[in-house]
Amino acid sequence: MERKALTGIRVIDMTQFEAGPVSTLTLAQMGAEVIKIERPKYGEQARMGARSSHGTQGAGADSIHFALLNPNKKSITLNVKTEKGRKILEELIKTGDVIVENFAAGTMERLGFTWEKIHSINPRIIYGTIKGYDDRSPFAKYPCFDGVAQAMGVVCSITGEHDGPPMMTGPNLADNLSGIYMATSILAALYQREFTGEGQMVRVNMQEVVIQTCRGAFVCQFDDDQENVRWGNIKFPNRAPHNMYPCKKRSEDSINDYAMIYVSPVPGSKQWPTFCNMIGKPEWAEDPIMSDPFERAMRREELDAVISAWTVQHDKEELMTLLSEAGVPCGMVTSTKDIATEPFYRDTKAVVEVEHPVLGKHLTLGSAWHLSASPCEVTPSPTLGQHTDEIYKGLLGMSDEELSQLKEEGVI
């Protein structure tokens, strides 16, 4: 087998839903052996909560939702609420380099697996835990999901129209970024272990992760003690052009025919005069008011009306090409359908096709990591308990008789 960046690293994956699975997926994409522990019969909760038109329903379901979060992993079943199950988990911890969980606060402790206990079982292991809030927070024991973390992490307060209510972002920002933060923290801990020989505990909480994405919003707060507000697509109220502009409609029911245009406000930038010439307003480049970035931002409505009248004459692909090749930043709005159907994304492996034993051939997302000496090869998500015999017999040395007994007792 070709050696990957994390070949030889074993991850005990006790994660669920999205934040945790993203962290272990990232490590799996880099070559780690990720052993996902799931409940007997039912599996991880995300299997049960997602509909799939060509998947299965009920206990141990396979769905596109689960498949998107769990490629490149192995699945075993284990009931850690039983005494025997906890003993087996101890044996797995002994073999691991990393263990990751994102259960509700206090769950691991109630199972008897405090950091101190885990560290005593395997002093070299890295223990990663994702929670909603910091352990010292007054909200530490409160349940938290993506939208809750976005609300608590400033994002909603700065997202939405100026005169409208706070809004969540479209993507599951808190879940996915918490997973990435956890994965990168684990990599740092693994590197430090090379020098100390000791593992450590890695904590990530979703609220702080989302707060970190709002650095720009804190400029006014920390500089002038001014609370940031919502500005919709304008985002930077003292810069223009900086907005989403309409393009020629593909069809009557098309809703994503827009492009984002951002012209640098830096004095002396060639982007503004270039842009003025392209939209048929060369005089703006010499106008003392319009050529001043902050002055023209005060005339945003007039500016955007002229720009929109020009952009709507072009389809979004054409507009992006025209402006980008002239050196003016522009990005067309792409939808999930655009990404799924554009051949370019298959070529770059942003979208890949895999063959699953239950789901059959289906599309999934590739890796955003591109390591020249360790390319990611996406394999399908595991069926429930697909690797139970392999791990228990091959890794822990159990016999067929022992496995049969554990299955009868509901331990695996």
% of the chain at pLDDT higher than 70:
98
326 in the same domain as 356:
no
- Separation between Cα atoms, residue 98 and residue 1, nearest integer Å: 22
Q: Kindly report, residue by residue over 108-126, the tens digit of the pLDDT.
A: 999 999 999 999 999 999 9
364 in the same domain as 388:
yes
Is the residue at 4 inside a domain?
Answer: no
Name all contacts of 369-378 with Cβ < 8 Å and 24+ positions apart. 369/26, 369/29, 369/30, 371/5, 371/30, 373/5, 374/3, 374/4, 374/5, 374/30, 374/31, 376/29, 376/30, 376/72, 376/349, 378/29, 378/71, 378/72, 378/349, 378/352, 378/354
* CATH number reported for the structural domain that contains residue 276 in this entry: 3.30.1540.10
pLDDT for position 5: 96
Query: What global pTM score does this model have?
Result: 0.93
Q: Kindly report, residue by residue over 128-174, the tens digit of the pLDDT.
A: 999 999 999 999 999 999 999 999 999 999 999 989 999 999 999 99
Is the residue at 340 inside a domain?
Answer: no
Is the residue at 337 inside a domain?
Answer: no
194 in the same domain as 49:
yes
Q: Kindly report, residue by residue over 177-236, the tens digit of the pLDDT.
A: 999 999 999 999 999 999 999 999 999 999 999 999 999 889 889 998 989 889 888 877
355 in the same domain as 293:
no
155 in the same domain as 102:
yes
pLDDT for position 229: 87
Domain that holds residue 202: 10-212+346-408
183 in the same domain as 107:
yes
Is the residue at 202 inside a domain?
Answer: yes
- Cβ neighbors of 190 (< 8 A, separation 6 or more) are 9, 97, 98, 126
Instruction: Measure CA 176 to chain center.
Output: 2
100 in the same domain as 160:
yes
* Whether residue 404 has pLDDT greater than 90: yes
pLDDT for position 338: 94
| End position of a domain, from candidates 306, 332, 358 | 332
* Whether residue 49 has pLDDT greater than 90: no
91 in the same domain as 61:
yes
Active-site residue (options: 175, 253, 287, 338)? 175
Confidence of residue 324 (pLDDT cuts 50, 70, 90): very high
139 in the same domain as 274:
no
% of the chain at pLDDT higher than 90:
84
Is the residue at 234 inside a domain?
Answer: no
pLDDT for position 50: 58
* CATH number reported for the structural domain that contains residue 169 in this entry: 3.40.50.10540
* Whether residue 57 has pLDDT greater than 80: no
| End position of a domain, from candidates 299, 332, 365 | 332
- Cβ neighbors of 165 (< 8 A, separation 6 or more) are none
Is the residue at 227 inside a domain?
Answer: no
pLDDT for position 380: 96
In 123-217, which residue ranges form alpha helices assigned H by DSSP? Answer: 146-152, 173-196, 206-212
Q: Which of 75, 1, 102 is nearest to 412 (CA)?
A: 75
pLDDT for position 234: 82
pLDDT for position 2: 78
Is 175 in the active site?
A: yes
- Token readout for 64 is 């596109």
Is the residue at 81 inside a domain?
Answer: yes
| End position of a domain, from candidates 332, 361, 378 | 332
Residue 111 contacts residue 80 (beta carbons within 8 Å): yes
| Number of domains into which the chain is organized | 2
Is the residue at 275 inside a domain?
Answer: yes
